[in-house]
């Protein structure tokens, strides 16, 4: 390997500005975890791979439920780190954070994971207060042919993945993939039983457009505690085993256009439908997101990045407050006093980058939502 390869001088990332930049040109705490290193590490999940990145903290509520944060900020409902997959937000509309147990992909098809540690609100908005994680998958032309992968773990857990790539024309490629994960641990120490299915298809014209469709389904057995009261006094507590399930599906379209020799642009439109029966997030949620981003080189030293977006969120809530029996109550449950709600979020941003000398670069910007 050359000195440039060893020192990662030629590595590029898009997360810092929404356009490709070399790591050496980004005045921020950034890191790129290459897919080859993920494969050699033996990691079986995205969360395990993130534990390889300096500055990220990965911990677990259970064997199947990791949580990820950076710079010492941590919590079960942590929602100050933006998590993306190919630029699509993986957040939960209920509280803005991420359910890491439901985020999965064929690790062999991940090209790299880009991490920006520290504030990135000018470009990405409020969720990026503490950083950004962008999971970038390989282009369809790099995943031609077939792949079968499997692992087996103690206590009977296993992973199974399949993928098939094919060419639709000389410059249009596609792939289809499926992954099943079953997590089982010591039934005495950790009775978690978690099953997830992830599937999707990618259609892509290189350096022009891409279309991604897919979905996931997860289910697990949970010990649900119910507490009984009589005239305000506790009388009994009992445990019931229930199967909690969730599923989601999405579609995403990306387009890149060179408007002039000095200006590049990219456009993204995606939607996602989530359903969750968990007691802390019961409901059905729809997100539609559209954005356009532009970068213009004013000269060799000055560049401006600008753009805008619109997000629509509709939430249908389960577990209504009205009529709920508080004398026979779940130990932990989220109740609502409305059937549904909708939100619209409009945003615009402008950022200026100036390279004054070979050792001094400044970035100034603003975002309004």
pLDDT tens profile 172-220: 999 999 999 888 766 666 666 788 999 999 999 988 999 999 999 998 8
Across 138-163, b (16+ Cβ under 10 Å) vs e yields bbbbebeeeeeeeeeeeeebebebbb
Of the candidate ranges 87-96, 115-124, 138-147, 279-288, the one whose mean pLDDT is the lowest: 115-124
* Element (DSSP H or E) covering residue 85: strand 82-85
Q: How far apart are CA 183 and CA 159, in angstroms?
A: 8
pLDDT exceeds cutoff 70 at 25: no
CA 129 to chain centre: 15
- Mean pLDDT within 353-360: 87
Q: Is the backbone of residue 69 left (phi > 0), alpha (psi -120 to 50) or beta? A: beta
Contact 224, 242 (CB under 8 A): yes
Q: Which residue has the higher pLDDT, 128 or 266?
A: 266
Residues 6+ apart with CB under 8 A from 296: 262, 263, 303, 304, 305, 306
Average pLDDT, the chain: 86
Size of the chain in residues: 369
Residue 302 pLDDT class (50, 70, 90 cuts):
very high
What pLDDT score was predicted for residue 313?
95
pTM comes to 0.86
135: exposed, middle or buried (Cβ count in 10 Å: 0-12, 13-18, 19+): buried
Structure tokens that stand for 339 in this block? 């059937």
What pLDDT score was predicted for residue 358?
82
- CA separation, residue 152 to residues 29, 183, 247 (Å): 37, 10, 25
Q: Which residue has the higher pLDDT, 143 or 191?
A: 143
pLDDT tens profile 91-135: 888 888 888 888 889 999 999 998 888 776 667 777 777 888 999
Specify whether domain 1-138 bears CATH 2.60.40.10: no
Q: How far apart are CA 115 and CA 138, in angstroms?
A: 17
In order, the DSSP letters of 230-280 are ETTEEEEEEEEEEEEEEEEEEEEEEEEEE-SSSEEEEEEEEEEEEEE--TT
- CA separation, residue 345 to residues 85, 291, 314 (Å): 20, 11, 12
What pLDDT score was predicted for residue 146?
95
Q: How far apart are CA 103 and CA 275, in angstroms?
A: 15
Q: What proportion of the chain, given as a percentage, has pLDDT over 70?
A: 89
Q: Which residue has the higher pLDDT, 121 or 348?
A: 348
Q: How far apart are CA 113 and CA 336, in angstroms?
A: 37
Residue 17 pLDDT class (50, 70, 90 cuts):
low
For residue 92, the SS3 value is: coil
- Mean pLDDT within 281-286: 90
Residue (of 179, 156, 183) closest to 60 by Cα position: 183
Structural domain boundaries of the chain?
1-138, 207-369
- Mean pLDDT within 28-56: 87
Contact 49, 66 (CB under 8 A): no
Residue (of 251, 200, 247) closest to 99 by Cα position: 247
Residues 6+ apart with CB under 8 A from 165: 140, 143, 144, 145, 146, 173, 174, 175
pLDDT tens profile 310-333: 999 999 998 888 888 888 888 888
- Mean pLDDT within 336-347: 93
């Amino acid at each position: 390997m050359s000195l440039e390869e060893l020192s990662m001088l030629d590595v590029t990332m898009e997360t810092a500005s929404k356009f490709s930049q070399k790591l050496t040109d980004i005045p921020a705490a950034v890191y790129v975890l290459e897919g080859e290193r993920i494969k050699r590490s033996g990691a079986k999940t995205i969360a395990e791979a993130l534990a390889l990145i300096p500055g990220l903290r990965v911990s677990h509520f259970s064997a199947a439920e990791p949580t990820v944060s950076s710079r010492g900020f941590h919590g079960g409902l942590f929602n100050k780190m933006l998590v993306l997959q190919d630029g699509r937000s993986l957040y939960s509309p209920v509280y803005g954070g991420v359910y890491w147990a439901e985020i999965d992909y064929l690790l062999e098809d991940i090209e790299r994971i880009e991490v920006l540690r520290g504030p990135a609100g000018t470009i990405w908005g409020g969720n990026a207060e503490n950083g950004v994680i962008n999971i970038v998958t390989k282009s369809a032309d790099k995943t031609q042919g077939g792949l079968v992968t499997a692992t087996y773990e103690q206590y009977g857990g296993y992973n199974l993945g399949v993928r098939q790539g094919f060419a639709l024309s000389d410059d249009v490629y596609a792939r289809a993939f499926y992954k099943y994960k079953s997590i089982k641990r010591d039934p005495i120490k950790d009775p978690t039983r978690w099953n997830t299915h992830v599937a999707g298809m990618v259609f892509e014209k290189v350096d022009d457009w891409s279309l991604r469709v897919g979905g996931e389904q997860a289910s697990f057995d949970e010990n649900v505690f119910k507490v009984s009261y009589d005239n305000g006094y506790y009388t009994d507590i009992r445990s019931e085993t229930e199967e909690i399930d969730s599923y989601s599906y999405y579609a995403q379209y990306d387009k890149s256009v060179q408007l002039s020799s000095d200006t590049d642009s990219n456009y993204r439109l995606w939607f996602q439908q989530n359903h969750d029966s968990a007691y802390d997030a019961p409901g059905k949620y729809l997100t539609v997101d559209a954005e356009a981003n532009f970068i213009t080189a004013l000269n060799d030293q000055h560049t401006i990045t600008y753009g805008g977006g619109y997000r629509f969120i509709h939430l249908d809530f389960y577990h209504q407050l009205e009529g709920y029996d508080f004398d026979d109550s779940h130990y932990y449950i989220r109740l609502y006093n409305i059937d549904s709600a909708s939100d619209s979020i409009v945003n615009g941003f402008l950022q200026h980058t100036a390279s004054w000398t070979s050792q001094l670069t400044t970035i100034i910007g603003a975002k309004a939502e």
